[in-house]
Amino acid sequence: MLELNHLKKVYPNGAHALEDFNLKVREGEVVAIIGGSGCGKSTLLRLVAGLETPSAGDIRLGTRALVEPDERVNIVFQEPRLFPWLTVADNIGFGLRHLDRQDRVTQVDAALSRIGLAGYGQRWIRELSGGQAQRVALARALVTHPAVLLLDEPFSALDAMTRSDLQDHLSDLWLENGTTMLLVTHDIEEAVMLADRIVVMQPWPGRILDIVDVDLPRRRDRNAAGFSSLKRHLGELLERSLQRKSPKVLIDS
């Protein structure tokens, strides 16, 4: 479905972000990318989103190459990046402006219900908590039914309780919609909670160290023995991935 073939990215300043990165993401799969700073995780998402151009290699979604921002691919960032001059409903419906008003209202109302914010449509963004705003950002990204949803540390700015709640919520949304997702995170527990496979990267330049299957039933129990065992294994892989000196020129995370 989504194929990343021999991706390489070298920035003009000489920073070598990615080298020979290969990954195939199946339709409906959730793949998490973890790794220390400098392994090119954010660069990878920008490449898939069409916000950066690879130095070598290509990205394909189905039969078509992704060479620029594509309506089939949406992204959710660390912060909500909502439009403060629009209501909650207008933010969610921003990508549905091609629909007639009644269809747009119907889809936005359904999206608000799915994220647990029914009745919040006419509120302003400034009236929402951080967790509520990120729910709105998720709804805006999902309401257009993208083929691929990119998530760049989507809950890292939130407190631990809100973060866990939104991880559960995103897991439920995936069970409902089956959207293909590529998730970048520093949080091992978040990766285990959400992903079908976890790509462990090592830096300088960014490349794959290992890919770990998550053979745990959904909705996942953070206190289960298998959950804890997998977290330990991933922690050991991350420690191994960083057992080399960093270069003088550092790149993004």
Say if residue 166's pLDDT is above 60. Answer: yes
Six-digit token string for 250: 């550092």
Mean pLDDT of 120-145: 94
CB 32 within 8 A of CB 58: no
Measure CA 22 to chain center: 18
3-state secondary structure of 144: coil
pLDDT of 169 reads 87
Interval 179-230: pLDDT, tens: 999 999 999 999 999 999 999 999 889 999 999 999 999 889 999 999 999 9
Greatest distance between any 2 Cα atoms in the chain: 58
Interval 14-71: pLDDT, tens: 889 999 999 999 999 999 999 988 789 989 999 999 999 999 999 999 988 888 889 9
Mean pLDDT of 102-111: 92
Mean pLDDT of 234-238: 94
d(CA 174, CA 193): 12
Q: What is the mean pLDDT of the chain?
A: 91
Residues with Cβ within 8 Å of residue 119, at least 6 apart in sequence = 112
Region(s) of the chain under CATH 3.40.50.300: 1-72+146-253
3-state secondary structure of 104: helix
Superfamily designation of domain 1-72+146-253? P-loop containing nucleotide triphosphate hydrolases (3.40.50.300)
pTM, rounded to two decimals: 0.90
* Amino acid at position 59, single letter: I
pLDDT of 99 reads 87
d(CA 95, CA 80): 15
